[in-house]
Structure formats: structure tokens, C-alpha cells
Structure 1
Amino acid sequence: MKKNLAFTLTPVLLALLAACGQKPDGAGGHGGPGGPPPVSVAPATQREVQEFDEFTARLEAPDTVEVRARVAGTVEAVRFKEGQVVKKGEPLFTIDARAFKADVARAEAQVAALKTQSELARADLARAEKLVSVNAVSQQEIDQLRTALRSAEANLKGAEAALVQSRLNVEYANVTAPVTGRTSRANVTPGNLVGVGDPVLTTLVSSDKVYAYFDASEATFLKYMRAAKPASTVVQMGLSNEDGFPHTGKLDFVDNRLNPATASIRARAVFDNKGGQFTPGLYARVKLGGSATYSGVVVPDRAITTDQTKKIVLVVGPNNIVQPRPVNPGALIDGMRVVDGVKAGELVIVDGLLRAFPGAPVTPQVLKVDDKGMPIPAPQPGAPGAAPAPAPASAASK
């Protein structure tokens, strides 16, 4: 008898629960009792766009020179401050040049002696040639005198070359900067003996310009070849601690072959570095203009979803019915994707995609967009400027 009473009361309890607005477990709805689910939508925007290709790059100096000694000797002085910018020709190291100066004096004396011998041989030949007409000397003697003159002149030229080399050694003892740039640390200190070419005294990198080397894919290379891009294409660059691409340079080099192992080609952009803000070896981001400016329809990239093998967006059509729309996605610019297949002004679902089903109704909430077409998130309930949320019904009203 008790069991029959329990079954009799069950429909009554369900009716009371329904009257109070409560639902049994598993009977929850979307966006309100019995209403279509809420979604956030934004209008597709038509604007002028320009496609860009972005790459990662490494900065390198146009000139990197390992400064080495060209003569052997003892380092007398380091003439620069480590890390400073030096101009071409400024002294860096001084090597003891006393032995080289002694070689210069010896070579000068040798040149003077051989010059005297050459003059004497020339005078002897001139006197002998005057006596030929009276048969006072033989032709053999004339030939011997001419040979002696040529030999003296050759010895003089050799001595003069040795003198030039000795003077160069004195000059090389003063190691100067081969290019204008920033110095590294000094690898030797005064008192150390250095040989010819060993060790590296310091490293010097040029600082007025900087190169950004990056690798482009084969497809990107072919695209630019079809567009007949000149070598002076404008390139923008940003460092890892910078927002966007605040620096502007030019593309000045593309390699003559692709790397078959990576299917990529090396390219280089040059940037002005007179302010010294770029250091060789830094990581950088570069952006290269991939097309001319054109008019296109853009939607938020997050609004694009996949239906098996094709890309689609969900559009809210008449009577708030969801319509799947196949699209051909293009370039991604500032979070907005260029698409072909959506008209400007159509409402595209950007949030709540999992609650929207093709052919089913939804409750759209139209979001405002910024000047680029990106949706501005709606204010959360309780946030400043948000509309007050409706007060829940009291227990008494139930």
C-alpha cells in the first residue's frame, strides 16, 4: 500500500518542481528555459589589406675582422679601451719595433752601396764606348761592362725592395684598426710575445650597418619571383623585446641557389646602425611585404573552423538560423584572416561555436569591432559599464 502511494505522489512532486522553475537533472537548456543558445557574432569587415611574410633572423655585422700581428715581437702597449668604437686606421697595439728599425738602417746602407756600384758601372761603360771608335777596347770588354751594369742595377732593385719590406715591418709593428667598428676584449697584454698571425689580438666588428639573415621557403621564393620583387624591397624588423616591427631596412641580397636539404633559400636585409642599437648575434623578427594593397573581406581567425576537409565559418542568417559557409582562407593579418566566400556585413559567429549547429536557431549577441575589424569582447556582468544582471526570483514568488 505504501509503494502505491509513492508512485501516486511522484507526478505531483514533478508538477510542483516545474512550477517553482526547477528542473530534474539532465534537463538543463541553453540561454534560458527553452530558448536558442547564445552566441557572440561580429560582422565581416571589408578593408584595404596588404599581405606580409614573417621570418626569424639573426643579426650579423657586415665586417668581422680578427686582428692579428703581421710581425713577430713583444707587445709594448694596448692602445684602445675594450669595447669602444674605433675608426679605421686608429692604433690598437704597439709591438717593439727596434729590431725592424735596425733592419731599415741596414737596408738603406745596402741601397746606398749598390747605387754607387751601379753609377760606377755606368761610368765605366760610357768611357769604354768612347774608345771603341779608335779600337782601344774590344767588343768583348764592352759586353762585359754592359753585363756588370745590368747586374748592379738588378742588385740595387733587390736592395730597394728589402728596404721597402723593412719599412713595412716598422709600420706593421703599430697594429691599427682595419675597419671602423667596435672592439672586443684584448687577448694579449703588454709584455707578451706574439708571432705572425698568432694569436688573435682582438676582434673588430663594423657597427654603422647590420645585416639580418633569414631563410625563406621555396614557395615564398617562387611567389616573390612571380611578383618580380626588386632587390630594394622594404623590410621591417623587430627585436625580441620590441612590439611589432619598428625598424625599416631594405632587402639587398638573395642567394643564388636553394639549399636542397631544407628547401629554403638564404636572404639578407640591411639596416642602419649608426645609433648602435643592434648587436651582431641578436635574434630578430623580420616582415616582408608579400603583395600590393588590395580590398578584401576579413573575419577573426578564431571564427574559422573545419568541416571534414574544408574550412567553414558559421553565419547567422535570417530568423537567426545558423548557416555553414565554405571559405578559402588567405593571409593572416593582425589576428584577422582574409577569406573568400563571405560578404562584408554578414554576421559571423566568433564565440560559442560549440553551441551553434547548422540549421538550428541561436540567440546572437552582436559585438562591436575596432578599426581593424577585430571584435571587442563584451563586458562581463558586474564589470564597469556592464548592464545590471536581472535579480533572481525570490522563494516567495515561487
Structure 2
Amino acid sequence: MRMKLFLGRPRLAVTILGATALALYAFGLGGARPTQTTEAPKPRVTASKPTVKTIVEWDRYTGRFSAVESVQLRARVSGYLTDIHFTDGQLVKEGDLLFTIDRRPFELAVSAAEAERRVAESAVALARQELSRAQSLRKIGVAEEVYEQRLAALRQAEARLAAAGAALDRAKLDLEFTNVRAPVAGRIDAHAVSVGNLVNGGDSNATLLTDIVSLDPIRITFDVDQEAYLRYMHGGSDGGRPSLRDARNSVRIALSGDADFTRSGELDFVANQIDRDSATIRLRAIVDNKDLSLVPGLFARIEIAGTGAHRAVMIPDEAISVDQASHVVFVVDRGNAERRTVTLGPIVDGLRVVRSGVGPDDLVVTSGSQNIRAGQAVAILEAAPSAVSKRADAGGRTLSQ
């Protein structure tokens, strides 16, 4: 009997514990409050209004410098080179003596030509005397034939005198050509012939002595495509920009390694036709080169005004994304992100010109656009005011209004 009681007590305890657990579970279910759903936080973005200011858009090309004057010095007379009067690579002025060819043969030629001229002068004087006597005898019945012969003799003597004078001038000119002088100012190249060499002159096979290129001012040439040319001409006709042919358009120049376009020049030539092979037209500008740092053959970047001054909407380049072949930005409209397709222009003063798709009063997302999608509610972390409108001067710099 005791054994049965002992075995029954555990069963009773288990039964009581189970009933208690069920009661507690039921109480918990009956008294629990409904669980509330927590909203996801809105993506945070930085947005600001575009900068609006008056600008001039500049088109960029690659140009190459060339000398205004470039001369190859060749001998005009033949002879042995006796002197070189310059240092290779130095600057020379117009008229500076550069080379001397042996002058002695040409001095002798001048002396001989002077002697021939004196002989011709004597012949003319004698012919005039004989003509004068014939004219005096003509009055007392001397034959007319004698007078005419004397007159013809005088004319022949005068012609020989003129020929002797021309020969003397030529001899003096050849003597002058033995001194080779700089025809233009500029920088001279190395001498191509050393002292003691025989040089040939006077024809197409004349010996090349050296060459000279002018440096200040200097020219830069560049090619623009036909679409740009038509745009420039159209802008000149409607007054939007200076006329390409009738006005001296300004250009800006930057050398390799330059961060800014620190040099300037003026357009002075436009070719008269489009190149058939490349569909481009050649333009040329004249540039000051006071420091003589620019040399012919040097490449440079060159900018020319592509438009007249106009008001432009501009945004930071980092606000723009690429979607396949389109450029897009996000705009915050009534707290929601709106996706806009935009048409872009060049970068001016560090900002990208937007031709269409964004207005001056839109809030453009400049940071955080990679975390949002169209139609999504966003939280603006910073809403910067639009920049003060500015006006660009002719040099591309901006002046506050």
C-alpha cells in the first residue's frame, strides 16, 4: 500500500505542473498586446539648387605653333666661305652679318666693270664730238649720210655705256652678296656649312647655309570640324558671338602641363574651304611671345568661344549618373526622389552645364544618389541655397553681380 502511494505522487506532481504551465501560457496569450510594425528609415541625401550664372562656353582643340617668318638662308654667289659671324642658336636682328664669302674675286670683278664703264664713257664723248662736227658741216653742204652715221655711232656708244653701267651694278651686287645678312629677326639654327667650304649660289642648287625663324609674335594653327564651323558662323550672323571672319575672335592657350589657359591670342585667319578628306577647316591665331618660350612646332591646347554670353544652369559633375546611353540625375520633389534625364554641356568653372532636364529651382541630389530609387521618399541631409548668380567676362572669368 505504501508502495502504490509512493508511485502515485510523481504522477500527481507532473499533472499539477502541466496544468500550471497551460494556465500561464493561456494567460500570456490572452493578455499580450498586438506587436507594432517599425518603418524603415528614409535614405539620407545631400541636395542643393543648381548654380545659375552668365557664361561663355569654350570649345577646345589641339593646335600647333608656327613661325610668322621662316627663312632658309642660301648663298647667292659661289665662292669659299671665309667667316661665320654668329653662335649657333642665338637671337639675331634683321640686317645682322651672318656669313662672309671670299670677296676678292668679286672686288676684282667690280674693278673690271668700272674700267669698262670708263671706256664706254670715253666712246660716248668721242661720238658726241664727231656728231657735233658733222652737224656743223651739214650747214655747208656735207652729205646727209655722214651726219646720220655719226648719229648712229653716238647711239651705239650710249648703249654700250648703259650696258657697262649695268655690268658694274651687277658686279657690285655680287660683291654685296658675299656678306650674307639676316633678312628677318628671330632665332638662328646651327650653321650647315663650315669655313673653308665651297658654296654654290645663284640657282635652285644654291647651298643651304642655315635658317631663321621669327618668335615674337608667333602663330598657332588648329582645325575645327564643319559642324563647329557652321555653328560659329551662325552665331556670328545672329549676334550670339563675334563673327568668325569679320571679327578678331579671342582664343585661350594652355601648354602641356598647364592647369589653366594663361595665354591668349586673336584669330587672324580662316581657310577659304573645308578639307575634303577630314571635313575640317583650318583656323590660325596670332599670339604674343615676349618671353620667347613658345617655339615653332610646339603643341598646345586652344580654346575658342563656342557661344555668346548666356544664362546657364550648372550642377556638380558628381550629381550625374550614367544609365546606358543617357545621363540622369535625381531631383527631390515633395520629399520623393524623381529621376530626370539631362542633356549636358561643357564644364565651366568646375561645374557641368545642363542644357535641359533640370531647372534653376529644382533640388538636385548631389550626394547619396546611389542609395535611392525613383519615387522613394528621402530625407534631405543638407539643402544648400543656390549659388549667387554671376556673370562671365570675355576672358572666361566670373564677376559677381
TM class by shorter-chain length?
0.7 to 0.9
**Aligned equivalent of 1:194:** 199
Are 2:103 and 1:88 aligned? no
Cα distance between partner residues in 2 of 1:131 and 1:65: 64
**For 2:187, which of 172, 182, 190 is the aligned residue?**
182
What per-residue deviation string (whole Å, max 9, x for no partner) do you get for residues 178-231 of structure 1?
A: 001111111112111111153321110012210010101111111221222143
CA-to-aligned-CA distance 1:341-395 (integer Å, 9 cap, x gap): 322242223344443321123444438699699xxxxxxxxxxxxxxxxxxxxxx
After the TM superposition, which residues 232-271 of structure 1 pair with which residues of structure 2 at under 5 Å, given as runs?
232-271=248-287
Which residue of 219, 222, 226 corresponds with 1:214? 222
Conserved? CA contact 2:47–2:384, under 8 Å: no
Counterpart of 1:356 in structure 2 is: 372
* Identity within the alignment, %: 37
Equivalent-residue separation in structure 2 for 1:91 and 1:371 (angstroms):
63
Q: Which residue identity does 2:164 align to in structure 1? A: A
TM-superposition CA deviations, 1:293-341 (whole Å, max 9, x none)? 222211123434455665432212222x211224343343244232233
Between Structure 1 and Structure 2, how many residues are aligned? Answer: 339
SS in 2 for 1:327: strand
Name the SS for the 1:100 alignment partner. helix
Give the Cα separation in 1 of the matches to 2:310 and 2:386: 20
Which of 333, 339, 342 is the equivalent residue of 1:324? 339
Any idea what SS the aligned residue of 1:57 has? strand
C-alpha separation in 1, matches of 2:46 and 2:298: 42
Q: 2:121 aligned to 94, 115, 121, which one? A: 115
1:333 aligns with 2:348: yes
Secondary structure in 1 matching 2:95: coil
Give the Cα separation in 2 of the matches to 1:372 and 1:81.
58
Q: What is aligned with 1:46?
A: 52
- Note the 1:26-41 alignment, pairs <5 A: 34-41=40-47
CA distance, structure 1, for counterparts of residue 187 and residue 286 of structure 2? 18
Q: Which residue of 2 aligns with 1:283?
A: 299
Amino acid at match of 2:377: P
1:299 lines up with 2:315 in the alignment: yes
SS class of match (1:53): strand
Q: Residue 337 of structure 1 aligns to which amino acid in structure 2?
A: R
Q: Residue 131 of structure 1 aligns with which residue?
A: 137
The aligned residue for residue 6 of structure 2 is: none
CA distance in 1, matches of 2:212, 2:387: 48
Q: Which residue matches 1:162?
A: 167
Counterpart of 2:156, as a letter, is S
Q: Distance in 2 between matches of 1:200 and 1:365?
A: 74
AA partner of residue 263 (structure 2): H
Give the structure 2 partner of residue 204 of structure 1: 212
Contact persistence 1:258–1:264 (CA under 8 A): yes
Distance, in Å, in 2 between the alignment partners of 1:207 and 1:303 is: 46
Q: 240-249 or 174-183, which moves further after superposition?
A: 240-249
- Give the match for residue 15 of structure 2: none
C-alpha separation between the residues in 2 aligned to 1:172 and 1:359? 86
Which deviates the most, 247-256 or 363-372? Answer: 363-372
Structure 1 unpaired stretches of 5+: 1-32, 374-398
Q: Which of 57, 60, 78 is the matching residue for 2:63?
A: 57
- Cα distance change of structure 1 residues 372 and 125 upon mapping to structure 2, 3 Å threshold: farther
Matched, 1:274 2:290: yes
Contact 2:50/2:387 (<8 A) preserved: no
CA contact (8 A) 1:41 1:350 kept: yes
User: For residues 52 and 346 of structure 1, what CA distance do their matches in structure 2 show?
Assistant: 26
Q: Give the conservation status (yes or no) of the 8 Å contact 2:52–2:387.
A: no
Structure 2: how far apart are the matches of 1:80 and 1:112? 40
Cross-structure match for 1:376? none
The structure-2 alpha-carbon separation of the partners of 1:143 and 1:369, relative to structure 1 and needing over 3 Å to count, comes to farther
TM-score normalised by structure 2 residue count: 0.79
Q: What CA distance in whole angstroms lies between the structure 2 residues aligned with 1:281 and 1:264?
A: 20
For 1:150, what is the secondary structure of its paired residue?
A: helix
The offset of 1:240, in angstroms, is 0.9
Q: Is the 8 A contact 2:52 2:388 kept in 1?
A: no
Say whether 1:227 aligns with 2:242: no
TM-score, normalised on structure 1? 0.79
Equivalent residue, structure 2, for 1:17: none
**Distance in structure 1 (CA, Å) of the matches to 2:136 and 2:385:** 109
Equivalent residue for 1:68? 74
User: Deviation at 1:267?
Assistant: 0.5
Render the CA deviation track for 1:68-117: whole Å, top value 9, x for unaligned: 11111111111011111111000001110100000000000000001110
Which amino acid counterpart does residue 163 of structure 1 have in structure 2? L
Within 2, Cα distance between the matches of 1:119 and 1:369? 102
Range 288-297 or range 253-262, more displaced: 288-297
Rg comparison, structure with higher value: 2
CA distance in structure 2 between the aligned counterparts of 1:100 and 1:370, rounded to whole angstroms: 82
